[in-house]
Amino acid sequence: MGLPAHQHDHARYRPSQGRRPRGGKAPPHLRRAGRRLRRAAALAALALLALVAPAAADPLRIATFHAELTRRGPGLLLRDILRGEDPQIAAAAQTIAHAAPDVLLLTGIDYDHGLAALGAFRDRIAEAGHAFPHLFARRPNTGMATGLDLDGDGRLGGPGDAQGWGRFAGAGGMALLSRHPIDGSAARDLSDLLWAEVPGALVPDAMPEDHRAVRRLSTTGHWIVPVRPAAGPLLVIMAFSASPPVFDGPEDMNGRRNHDEILLWRHVMDGAFGPAPDARFVILGNANLDPVDGEGRHAAIRALLDDPRLQDARPGSEGGRAAAGPGHAGDPARDTADWREPAPGNLRVDYVLPSADWEVTAAGVLWPDDGPLAETAAHASRHRLVWVDLAPLDPVEASE
């Protein structure tokens, strides 16, 4: 849109041969008209600048939710979604729609090759009021056959013999849903990294060599996925879902693996497995580890929370505080999972950790202490959705 052409207010006035009148100044009425013209031109220029200047980026809401959308066999989740009769699926969709994130990592959702179940669930979320045009998922390690008796029960092909525990290939995987384009072609998948290849890994000494040669670190997966908002900077999502540090023996196999799955992100930020992230990023997912309470090697998550390259927005809720049981050492408002008391008890296990070059504008755990939404969230999953709102920092602010 161009600027409108302006004519002089007194176009018919013509001083002698276009010369200024005697005294070198225009008559008062022309000087007033000139001032009006200059003001109009200045306002028009400002309006044009507003049109062509880039819009300030809106805050991004980034969320993670362990939705427990997993069933006992392949195809059963898709069946239940399409039937439209499962109250847990409806509650999960309503919970997500209420939070309305821009980018959501779902953990605990069954994977299929064509993303049929994920697409069908995305449609349920849209029916509940929130649209995600863009999806991303890769085959998880859960249920992936190894051909070895990893759990030592004398049988092959059981859930404990897979790369990550699972009754079938793809059980309890993870997926990204986004309002903004996902650059899947530029995604990096570290899910095939062998556990023994991680520097400082706590692989049990007693692990047989044939197991060590095939055992992957990731229970589910570790992804590095670029998301490209229409306005604002590139966002890099670093997603994972770790093994619970329980259900093992004195060798602490799962506790060690959980520690190293969390440790991997610090190696990634160091550049040990490809280029270190140079764009604004967010580490998020189900770490299955509380910094203080419950079982597990707490130093792993504490070291990640304390890393100066990250920031912990400390999202919380009144529901978590109200539901805390006795003997809780950490702040119960930070808890994200509603588990039975006294063991394991409610814990903080789900995290959204932005890099230090973001401004955190708000954060929370979707866990009301009462009301219809509290009932919906409780019916959706034992976990609660965690969200953080982010705005890009000015480069000068980010360097301070």
Residues 71-126: pLDDT tens digits?
A: 999 999 999 999 999 999 999 999 999 999 999 999 999 999 999 999 999 999 99
342 — pLDDT class (breaks 50, 70, 90): confident
343 — pLDDT class (breaks 50, 70, 90): confident
The SS3 of residue 181 is coil
What torsion, rounded to 10 degrees, do the Cα atoms 210, 216, 217, 221 define? -170
pLDDT band at 2 (very low <50, low <70, confident <90, very high): very low
What is the token pair recorded at 30?
A: 């022309």
Q: In whole angstroms, what is the distance from residue 104 CA to residue 100 CA?
A: 9
Q: What is the pTM of this model?
A: 0.84
- Kind plus residue range of the DSSP H or E element containing 222: strand 222-227
Residues 5 and 145: their CA atoms lie apart, in Å, by 73
Torsion of CA 225, 227, 228, 232, to 10 degrees: -120
pLDDT tier at 57 (50, 70, 90 boundaries)? low
Residue 8: pLDDT over 50: no
Q: Which range scores top for mean pLDDT: 34-38, 84-88, 327-331?
A: 84-88
Instruction: Give dist(CA 328, CA 347) in Å, integer.
Output: 9
CA 38, CA 309: separation in Å to the nearest integer? Answer: 51
Dihedral class, residue 283 (left if φ above 0, else alpha if ψ from -120 to 50, else beta): beta
Please state, in angstroms and rounded to a whole number, the distance separating the CA atoms of residues 172 and 261.
17
